Every structure is written in C-alpha cells, then in structure tokens.
Amino acid sequence: MSKMKAAMAAVLVMEKEGVTQAFGVPGAAINPLYAQLKERQTISHVLARHVEGASHMAEGYTRAKAGNIGVCIGTSGPAGTDMITGLYSATADSIPILCITGQAPRARLHKEDFQAVDIASIARPVTKMATTVLEPAQVPQVFQQAFHLMRSGRPGPVLIDLPVDVQMAEIEFDIEAYEPLPVYKPAASRKQIEKVLDMLETAERPLIVAGGGIINADAADELVRFAELTGIPVIPTLMAWGAIPDDHPLMAGMCGLQTSHRYGNATMLASDFVLGIGNRWANRHTGSPEVYCKGRRFVHIDIEPTQIGRVFAPDLGIVSDAGAALRMLLEVASERIAAGRFRKWSEWAGDCRRRKADLGHQRKTNFDNVPIKPQRVYQAMNEVFGRDVTYVSTIGLSQIAGAQFLHVYGPRRWINCGQAGPLGWTVPAALGVRAADPQVRLVALSGDYDFQFMLEELAVGAQFKLPYVHVVVNNSYLGLIRQAQRGFSMDYCVQLAFDNINVPKGEVAAGYGIDHVKVVEGLGCKAIRVHAPGELAAALRQAEAWMSEYQVPVVIEVLLERVTNIAMGTEIDNVVEFEELAATAADAPTALALLD
C-alpha cells in the first residue's frame, strides 16, 4: 500500500484503464487533479477554449477508434453544466466518455458556495452514472466502476464530481493490486439465433438494417461476411454508414426521411422481412411505424433491453451485443449452408443492385450554377477525396445533403452526432478524432451556423497541431429550419446575412455577413473561399496541401445560393424530391460502376 492524494489515485486508475489523452479546461476546484496529471506526465492534455468543446472532443476521440474512451475535465459550477450537451450527445449515441469536474469543499456544498452546483443531479438523466465522491478513500473504486459501466452493456458516459478537499486528501492505495472490472456484454444464444434463421428462411425479400451498435462492437467485418454468406442486402442507419462500403453490391442504400437514398427507401418498401442489428429504429430512419412496418416482419437484436419494443413491437426481440449476435449468425448459417439446409437470396439481391444502379433512383449533383448549388460541393468532395477519407458532421441541411450525396467506404469513416445533433459539435469533434488518429485523412462538413457555434476551438487545432480540412457550405441561413418553416408559410428569424461594414460591396462575400476567412485566419488557421464550381477541386486539394504544410485546420468556405431545398419528407414513401432533372453518368459514377 502507498500513501497518496486521492487525485493521484484517480490518475493512476485512468492510466491502468488505458487513458492516454484528455481534453479540458483547468480551474481552481480541479487544480489538484491537474497537479497530479502534471506530475505523472502520462496523459496528454489538450486545452479547449470552451468546456462544451472539450466534451465534444472527448466524443470525437472515442468515436474514432474501437476501445477509446475520451476524457474531459473541468472545474466546478459552469464547467459541469457546459458539459451537459456533450453528455447528452454521448448517451444518445451510446458513446462512452468520462467527464470529471471539480467541486466546492464538502463542508460548503450546502452553503451556496462560489460555483457550487449539484452537477451530479443535473447530469444523472444523461449519463450511466453521475456521482459526487464524498469519501476520499472511495475515489479509486468510483473510477473503477465508471470504466466498468462505460464499457458494459449499452456503452455510455459517466460524470465524476470531485470536491477539492477530496482530491487533496491522503489515502492508502496500491495501484499494483488494481485490475479493471470484467466488461459485461449480453450475447445471443444459439437457440435464439436458430429461431432468427428459421424466420429468415420464410422470407422472400429480406433486409438487414445495420445500426451504430455494429460500429461500437467493431463488428463491421462480421456484418459484411454474414451479408455475403446469405446474399441479404444491407441498409445501414446513419450511425452505421460505412459498416458496409458504399460500393459493395449488397449495400442497398440508406432509408429514411432525410439522410436517405431514393433506392434505399424503394428497397425498404419492397422488402418483406427486416433483421435489425444494433439499431434503435430512430424516427428519421423509420418515419411512422404504420408505413415503415406495413407488409413486413421484424427481428430486432440490440444490446439494450429497453430498446426492444420501444418504437414498435418486433416479431422477435433478442438482447445481445451486435458482434456476439453476428458471430453466432455466421456460425449457425454456415453450418446450415454446408448441410444444404439454408437458402440464399441472390435474385432479390440482384433486384436491389439494379435499383441502386438505376439513374432514375439517383439525385442530380452535376450543376454549374453560380452561386454554387450544394449538391455540386459533394460531387467535388467525392471526386477529390475518393475512398480513403473520414468525414465528421453533425446537423442541418449540410449534414442531410452530405449523407445523400457523399460516399463512405469503411467503419468509423463517417463520424456523426446522431440523436442529439448539437450545433457547434463538428469543430471540436473533428479535433478529437485527429487527436485519436494523427494519420487519418480527415474532412469535416458544416453549414455556416453550425460552424459559427464553436469556431473558437479552431485555435485549439492551431495551438496543438491538430490539422484537418473543414468544408463550410455557406448560404447565410439556418437552412434546415428555413425549409421546415415552409410548412408555416414563413421565413422568420432564420436569415444570417447582413452587410458586413468591413467587406467592400464589390467583393464576392459582400452580403453574406460574417467574413469567415478573416475569422479563421485570426484564430491561427488557414482559409480558402470558393464561389464557382470550377474552383472546388483545386481548393480541396490546396486545403490538403496547406494542412500538411502548416499542421493547422484549413477551412474551405463555399458560397452557396441562398435557398436550396434538399429532398426530405414525412414518410419513407413520401419524400419530396425538389430537383426534378434526371441524374446522368456525371452525377452517379459509383452507381454505374455496379453495372460493370
């Protein structure tokens, strides 16, 4: 046993649990923990400009690589409340992050002390555990339990609140005797998987709906192998995009009201059986259950028991880790196929492949308009970045159009905030991804409003050499809300454009409001402005060159036409296509390649 400060015990436990990176903002009530981090020098630290930014950096760090747990640290009071959005985002998408806050001394918790707030009570609804540690000797075990909970069952975040006197108290602790607690993951039984395959054999047009649980379980390879073994097409949710490559013959497109493909919705409507794995039937994917479920049966496999039947009652529900379920599906299906007792759905898969390759099910992108149509931006991104790229995005028309037009070719190549969708998430999340993987080819995508929410974090990228390319599509509008307001016959409080007195009226950016190029450069980064389609490819390549040369974030601001309505609707059979012009070979080279 060794005598040490409780804060040192916390650092030692984090080391033993595999933590090597943290994000945060120091302050008086958390300085004792920072003192121990400084003494150990084993956990790198990135100084955020806003504590919410630190929480999203931790999210990006976790989402970037299997096994990562992002850590964000802040002082007492507003630091904890600033983290709530990150905690909500993480819990909604099953992302484990550890938030650590300082707190007023225990004796003054009930005296309305400076920056003393019951952060554990505030955070509890959006975490797997939120606790204020009142006994110094309990610090090691609370951290041990935190890592166990974050990794077990449905992953999720934890908040640990440490009063300043608890951090500084001396305790007895032996790190050599410490072992992480075993992680619990429920697993489908053979009997359950036999029942799934029995039901599958009665289907004529089955689909797999692959959810983010497959990414969390690092089971994309198993998904693809099972699809190839059986010939069943796959529809990934937005959180699982890339689990099967976009150009794989069995990738049938995404389904939904917004972030979907025309061929994906058509294939879902043509199916008669759906096997959902690691998904939660999010409403932007399903629309109403009455339309989504009509004419088809469902099996739902998910790690979280309360997800089964939450949106609609499946014909069979199984509580299981997605990876464990897929491994058992592969084992049992292989045995049946070897014995000649299991069919394949090659003809149905061929129908889905032809639908995907049909230009009538593609949307047009090859526009030459000035100002630029957003569809043209994504066409250029596909052409320049190709297969070897990781995208980060969060919310708005930029994200919706990105999901409709971009291509993703591997797991964790689309890093997206799903359910919560907080504006401002993209910049700090991209920085967290870069901190997790210095080598990945990294491109972020934002609308101008998302970008403005937390653009101060770009300075973090400049200071800590966290380079990436950030494409900002600027229409000077809250574009998604403007489009939604059409249902109320209004265009109210959603216009961001104004005449910036510092931008001469003759300049291209005049009337767009904020001069993003100057702001970005003022934060220590590089920026390029694009106003015509012919400039896009060169600008994207220049941004990558600058990123490599200067080792800072590089922003490409694309000046869009002010109003472009992006395809979406109220049901998967009622998506409004605003661009009626037919797609051509220039619009959909990936789809046409499937015919080769």
Pick the catalytic residue: 98, 329, 423, 440? Answer: 423
10-31 burial, b if ≥16 CB within 10 A, otherwise e?
Answer: bbbbbebbebebbbbbbbebbb
- Give catalytic status of residue 481 as yes or no: yes
Same fold, 2-177 and 364-566: yes
Residues in the chain: 596
pLDDT along the chain (596 residues), means of 10: 93 98 97 97 97 98 96 96 97 97 92 87 98 98 98 97 98 96 97 97 97 97 97 97 96 96 96 97 95 97 96 97 98 95 91 90 90 95 95 93 96 94 94 97 96 96 98 88 87 86 83 92 97 96 97 97 90 86 68 50
Structural domain boundaries of the chain? 2-177, 190-359, 364-566
Tell me, what's the pLDDT at 507? Answer: 82
Considering the four listed CATH numbers 3.40.50.1220, 1.10.10.10, 2.40.30.10, 3.90.1750.10, the one that applies to the domain covering 190-359 is 3.40.50.1220
pTM: 0.95
- Give catalytic status of residue 442 as yes or no: no
Pick the catalytic residue: 13, 46, 51, 275? Answer: 51
Considering the four listed CATH numbers 3.40.50.970, 3.40.50.2300, 1.10.3720.10, 3.20.20.140, the one that applies to the domain covering 364-566 is 3.40.50.970
Side-chain-facing half-sphere of 584: CA atoms under 13 Å:
5
Q: Which fold has domain 2-177?
A: Rossmann fold (3.40.50)
**Which amino acid is residue 241, in one-letter code?**
W
Closest CA to 277 of 193, 168, 358: 193
Pick the catalytic residue: 478, 514, 555, 556? Answer: 478
Tell me, what's the pLDDT at 593? Answer: 57
If you ran DSSP here, which 8-state letter would residue 583 be given? P
Tell me, what's the pLDDT at 596? Answer: 46
- Are 403 and 241 contacting, i.e. CB atoms less than 8 angstroms apart? yes
Q: How far apart are CA 99 and CA 86, in angstroms?
A: 9
- Give catalytic status of residue 478 as yes or no: yes
Cβ within 8 Å of residue 199, ≥6 positions away: 273, 297, 299, 315, 316
Pick the catalytic residue: 311, 316, 481, 575? Answer: 481
- Are 307 and 280 contacting, i.e. CB atoms less than 8 angstroms apart? yes
- Give catalytic status of residue 197 as yes or no: no
* Phi-psi label, residue 489: left if phi above 0, alpha if psi -120 to 50, beta otherwise: left
